Structure 1
Amino acid sequence: MGQKYWLPDLYRTQGEINLKAPSPDIEAAEQAFRVSIELAGEQGAIAWELKAAIPLARLLLAPERVADALALLTPMRLIRKKAAPRISKRPRAYWDLSDDRP
């Protein structure tokens, strides 16, 4: 994977910069977020996928694009629900942050 590992986060950052520029480029930001989500999905990096999906969903929350925003985030909710049972079955000591064990 090498240096391609960071590409999803770099594209997400590019999207954020495009939105915060003095004259925001909405289309370029949307494209950067979509590329970030696609690359993160290819890597199986769910956290980075979600990290790019949230600002893209905010961008799509214009009244005429609400359905697009919901369609984008719905699969992410399903992934979270599938992972939740596995996470909650960990032993309590695993979650104790005060524990000095590795």
Structure 2
Amino acid sequence: MPELLRVKGNLVRAAKPGAYDEAESYLGRSLEMSRDHGVPGWEMRAAIDLAALLAARGQYDSARALLQPLAERFAEGLDTADLKSAGRLLATLR
């Protein structure tokens, strides 16, 4: 379910320009469910997408505060697509 919510949030964002609140709601629920289920990979994906949405709204500090602590928790798999994506996004938020 967390992954479906994440995908739905991204679809809403793509299909309805300016529907940030609706997309943010889906992405936030995805992030929360990922944490509840204890699945860091899903949590990272939801956080990346939510941080990107926040950055698109000009909320750079909030995006960084969401994504940076989560990215720092990963000690392995630093060459995965998700962690590379998180690193690129964080670099734009500095």
**Unpaired runs of 5+ in structure 1?**
1-6, 88-102
Alignment: residue pair count:
77
**Unpaired runs of 5+ in structure 2?**
78-94
Cα RMSD of the aligned pairs, angstroms, is 1.8
Corresponding residue for residue 46 of structure 1: 40
When the two structures are superposed, what TM-score results if normalisation uses the length of structure 1? 0.67
Runs of 4+ in 1 over 4 A off after TM superposition: none
Q: 1:74 aligns with which of 53, 68, 71?
A: 68
When the two structures are superposed, what TM-score results if normalisation uses the length of structure 2? 0.72
Q: 1:53 offset after TM fit, Å?
A: 1.0
Q: 1:35 aligns with which of 29, 40, 62?
A: 29
User: Which amino acid letter does the alignment assign opposite residue 68 of structure 2?
Assistant: T
Q: 1:63 offset after TM fit, Å?
A: 6.6
Sequence identity (%): 32
Structure with more relative contact order (C-alpha pairs < 8 Å, separation 6 or more): 2
| CA offsets 1:40-95 (integer angstroms, 9 cap, x no match) | 001111000111111111111147410100011122123113xx3xx7xxxxxxxx
User: Which amino acid letter does the alignment assign opposite residue 80 of structure 1?
Assistant: F
Bigger radius of gyration among the two: 1
Looking at structure 1, the residues matched to 20 and 35 of structure 2 have their Cα atoms a distance apart, in angstroms, of: 23
Corresponding residue for residue 60 of structure 1: 54
Q: Against the structure 1 CA distance between its residues 8 and 25, is the aligned structure 2 distance closer, same or farther, given a 3 Å change threshold?
A: same
